[in-house]
Amino acid sequence: MPKYTIGHVSDFQERGARVFRVGELELAVFKLSDGSMKAIENRCPHKGGKLSEGIVCDHHVYCPLHDWKIDLHDGRVQAPDEGCVTAYPVTVDEKGNVTLTVDGVQSLVS
């Protein structure tokens, strides 16, 4: 699986997102208030809203278009709405370097 070092944990704003393109895939990488890092597709399954522009609360992001609530752990849309986005593994090493793992895609553009 391709792995990409995408920055240092200090490069990410708490409860904010940075956008990365991996091939044709656009990802939103979030830093949660507990310091953990999460990555999901940057597209709401409802109307395609940019999730990177949504409001982060706890481990959820709210789509900026229609307020759909999406779990950043697994990409599942919360009831009463339905759907999901793909979630991708993010790790932070002992030096604070953030690595994104994306299966099946070969090039990263930030």
Instruction: Report d(CA 9, CA 95) in Å as an integer.
Output: 9
Residues 60-90 pLDDT 10s: 999 999 999 999 999 999 999 999 999 999 9
Please give the pLDDT value at position 2: 85
- The edge-to-edge listing of strands for the beta sheet with 37-41 is 87-88, 37-41, 25-31, 16-22, 108-109
Instruction: Report d(CA 83, CA 48) in Å as an integer.
Output: 12
Residues 22-37 pLDDT 10s: 888 899 999 999 999 9
Please give the pLDDT value at position 104: 56
CB-based contacts of 87, cutoff 8 Å, min separation 6: 38, 39, 40, 72, 73, 74, 75
Domains and CATH numbers, the chain: 3-109 (2.102.10.10)
Average pLDDT for 2-15: 92
